[in-house]
Amino acid sequence: ETGVTQTPRHLVMGMTNKKSLKCEQHLGHNAMYWYKQSAKKPLELMFVYSLEERVENNSVPSRFSPECPNSSHLFLHLHTLQPEDSALYLCASSQGFSYEQYFGPGTRLTVT
Amino acid sequence: AQRVTQPEKLLSVFKGAPVELKCNYSYSGSPELFWYVQYSRQRLQLLLRHISRESIKGFTADLNKGETSFHLKKPFAQEEDSAMYYCALSGRAGGTSYGKLTFGQGTILTVHP
């Protein structure tokens, strides 16, 4: 598959569960991003990785833990989430200084 | 702090009518502004950026620093323009120049036949 892929597309988890979201980009980019899109809020930047190093943590609670093992893969590890964490989580990538970010389809997360 | 405001959540026009989607921003530095679009069942994608000063799918947007606005305009709307439109402003991420985009809340544009 081309572009930016995300798995799973839908996830339902309890507050005590641990799960991970996966993002993969097939574009040769060197920067990757996690965004949160809630129903009543603008798209919010969570994390930025550049060349596999985290360069931005936008005051995200520690129950969200990102991991970038290489420039093509990005994970978001989730544990002890709250119902208000239910949202669409979008991954994006870009090349260098370009602000043109390529988005994945998102993972719809529901915390029960 | 940087902020992007899109005052209209919903905007409806008829085919062939002009359309303007409003975007206002606040940013202490020199901004870079973008419009992203999400068509039904498609991913969020870049529509245009103010630096390139180009027209994409008939849309244009002019950065007005005096009014801190970056409104998106099209003289004759088409049904295929129906989508969610997001205005975004760039900043800096940490100590690097990688893009940190701040998005507005989005405007759903519906073009009726």
DSSP chain B: --EEE---SEEEEETTS-EEE--EEE-SS---EEEEEE-TTS--EEEEETTT---BTTBEE--BTTTTB--EEESS--GGG-EEEEEEEEEEETTEEEEEEEE---EEEEEE-
For residue A37, give Cα distances in angstroms to A6, A44, A61, B18, B37.
15, 6, 16, 30, 15
Of B32, B99, B104, the CB nearest to A42: B104
* Per-residue pLDDT at B9: 94
Of A43, A48, A103, the CB nearest to B98: A48
What share of chain B has pLDDT > 70, as a percent?
92
- Any CB–CB contact under 8 A between A55 and chain B? yes
Task: With H, G, I as helix, E, B as strand and everything else as coil, classify residue A84.
Answer: helix
**Local confidence pLDDT in tens for the 112 residues of chain A:** 579 999 999 999 988 889 999 999 999 998 899 999 988 788 888 998 887 777 777 789 999 999 999 989 999 999 999 999 999 999 999 887 566 889 999 999 999 9
- Other C-beta atoms lying within 10 Å of the C-beta of residue B105: 16
What share of chain B has pLDDT > 90, as a percent?
65
Q: Which of A101, A107, A108 to mutate to test the interface with B (most CBs of B within 10 A)?
A: A101
For residue B53, give Cα distances in angstroms to B19, B31, B102.
18, 14, 20
Average pLDDT of span B97-101: 65
**pLDDT tens digits, B44-64:** 999 998 877 788 899 999 889
Across chain B, mean pLDDT equals 89
Q: Answer whether residue B92 shows pLDDT above 60.
A: no
Q: Report CB contact under 8 Å: A102, B45.
A: yes
A27: left (phi over 0), alpha (psi -120 to 50) or beta: alpha
- In angstroms, the CA B38 to CA B19 distance is 17
**pLDDT tens digits, B66-85:** 999 999 999 999 999 999 99
